[in-house]
Structure 1
Amino acid sequence: MPEAPDTEEQAGPAQPRRRQARGERRIAQLLEAAAGVFCRSGYTAASTNAIAREAGVSPGTLYQFFPNKEAIAVELGGRLMQRWRETHGAAFDAIDPSLPLDELLDSVLDPLIEFNCENPAFAVLMHGSEIPGRITEEHDAVHSALLERVERILGDFLPDAAPAELSRIANMTFSSVKGGLELILAHEGTERDAYKVELKTMVQRYLGPLVDAAPEPADARTHTP
């Protein structure tokens, strides 16, 4: 007589996968709750009890996945940072130097503005003396890399600019966008839309005269950053 299949052995591999899937859903639930609490209360005033309440679970359930608030912030910050990299990378990779300046700015700024509006916790976790160092260090490293990339892109449009001048222009542009994003996030609805327009107008009016006055290099329309 053939042996009956071992049902427990067959179900064995599926059970850990189901537990893992449930765990991932719970982690996502807790991180979403943490994002809401961080945005309303700030990182320093937030607590694990508040995050558990927001998620609709007990503090004991939260502690099954995260030992403290810092661990939650590090996990949330890491996931947001990865999305941020992908968004910024996609925005810069999509740059078409043959576009007029206003259209080029749209292609870069629109996805960055959209990301920050969809992920307000990102701004909360990237700034402040109480934020876990791992988050801010990673943000600073990516920030520096992006600033260098902005400087290289501007160099294509301002070929005669001295290195120090190009650095100043890149820093002013980058800082203006950063400040504009803070204002955009501080408003909602039609007022938020108005600030989006103001940010683009400000950057356009700053860079436009510089780009218009610069000589056009022979390979300016063929070089891809």
Structure 2
Amino acid sequence: MSSENIPRRKPRQQRGEQRMAAMLDAAAAVFAQSGFDAATMTAIAERSGSSIGALYQYFPNKLALARALREQYGEEMAQGWSALIADAAQLSVAALADRVFDLMIGFFDAHPAYLTLLNATLGYQRNADARQRLRAQLGAALREKKPEMDEAEALRTAKVALQIVKGLNPLYAEASAAERRALVAEFKLALQAYLKLRLHK
């Protein structure tokens, strides 16, 4: 048999990445179901189909798992924001506010552990460069909507707009399903009103 016909083994690195992804998925499920404080490494190992020893090889404790999930969620959220901001200049203010919060709620629904981890004391802080990049992207989109707005003003407006959006998170986490819908509607109004005022020509 020639070397070309010999089946190639999967690289160890790829297997390791797949195992790590399975562990993170399991951790997310356990955190969402039990909460961060009640979650155990044993439950996470069982859910991922790994031995407890294998789990500890990748993550020394559940805090490390939680921080890795927050990092992963931050990257996914950043991709969603980038796609939305690319469309921002073509959207009305009302449509932009709707899309912003629809993106957030869609993310919460797809990642139920996100709000659990958001309210846990993880000592985690998102990369400052990533935060600044997001603000700059939104600021640039706002300047496309109002070209006479200077760069500093656009960046300030973007910071305030993003802080309004961020303000939903703790209230949403503690609210009932019905109250969550009402809260989202209120935050959409708040963001619409602010952006309409700042973008008024």
Cα distance between partner residues in 1 of 2:26 and 2:83: 28
Question: What residue in structure 2 maps to residue 68 of structure 1?
Answer: 61
What SS class does the counterpart of residue 131 from structure 1 fall into?
Answer: coil
Cα distance between partner residues in 2 of 1:24 and 1:79: 13
Cα RMSD for the two superposed structures:
3.6
Question: What residue in structure 2 maps to residue 117 of structure 1?
Answer: 109
Question: What residue in structure 2 maps to residue 211 of structure 1?
Answer: 199
Cα distance between partner residues in 2 of 1:167 and 1:78: 24
Question: What residue in structure 2 maps to residue 196 of structure 1?
Answer: 184
Question: What residue in structure 2 maps to residue 219 of structure 1?
Answer: none
For residue 170 of structure 1, report the CA deviation from its aligned partner: 3.2
Question: What residue in structure 1 maps to residue 94 of structure 2?
Answer: 102
Cα distance between partner residues in 2 of 1:62 and 1:129: 22
For residue 31 of structure 1, report the CA deviation from its aligned partner: 0.7
Cα distance between partner residues in 1 of 2:162 and 2:61: 34
How does the TM-score come out when normalised to structure 1? Answer: 0.67
Residue by residue over 1:90-120, the C-alpha shift from the partner in whole angstroms, topping out at 9 and shown as x without a partner, is 111122x343211122233322331233224
Q: Which runs of 5+ in 1 are unaligned?
A: 215-225
1:52–1:59: 8 Å Cα contact kept in structure 2?
yes
Question: Please, which of 3, 6, 12 is the counterpart of residue 10 of structure 1?
Answer: 6
Q: Percent identity?
A: 31
Task: Determine whether 1:78 maps to 2:71.
Answer: yes
Question: What residue in structure 1 maps to residue 35 of structure 2?
Answer: 41
Question: Please, which of 14, 21, 32 is the counterpart of residue 25 of structure 2?
Answer: 32
- CA change 1:6–1:168 in 2 (3 A) is closer
What SS class does the counterpart of residue 91 from structure 2 fall into?
Answer: coil
What SS class does the counterpart of residue 94 from structure 1 fall into?
Answer: helix
Question: What residue in structure 1 maps to residue 51 of structure 2?
Answer: 58
Cα distance between partner residues in 1 of 2:52 and 2:90: 55
For residue 25 of structure 1, report the CA deviation from its aligned partner: 4.5
Residue by residue over 1:135-155, the C-alpha shift from the partner in whole angstroms, topping out at 9 and shown as x without a partner, is x242x3322222233333334
How does the TM-score come out when normalised to structure 2? Answer: 0.73
Matched residue pairs, number?
199
One-letter amino acid of the counterpart of residue 100, structure 2:
V
Cα distance between partner residues in 1 of 2:170 and 2:138: 20
Cα distance between partner residues in 2 of 1:62 and 1:106: 41
